[in-house]
Amino acid sequence: MMLPEWLLRHRAIIEPFQGDGAYGPVFGAPFEARCLVDDERRLVRDAQGAEVVSDTTVFFPPGTTCPEGSRVTVNGRQTTVITSFSRDGGGLPTPDHVEVVCR
Neighbours of 78 (CB within 10 A): 11
pTM of the model: 0.87
User: Would you state the pLDDT for residue 1?
Assistant: 65
d(CA 16, CA 103): 15
Q: Express each pLDDT in 63-82 by its tens digit.
A: 898 899 999 999 889 999 99
Mean pLDDT of the residues in the chain: 89
Give the residue among 32, 25, 7 at the shortest CA–CA distance from 95.
Answer: 7
At 56, which helix (H) or strand (E)? strand 56-60
Q: In a structure prediction context, what are the per-residue pLDDT tens digits for the chain, which is 103 residues long? A: 677 888 889 999 999 999 998 998 999 999 999 999 998 898 888 878 888 898 899 999 998 988 999 999 998 899 999 988 888 888 888 888 899 999 8
User: Would you state the pLDDT for residue 80?
Assistant: 92
CA angle 54, 59, 76 (to 5 degrees): 65
CB 56 within 8 A of CB 79: yes
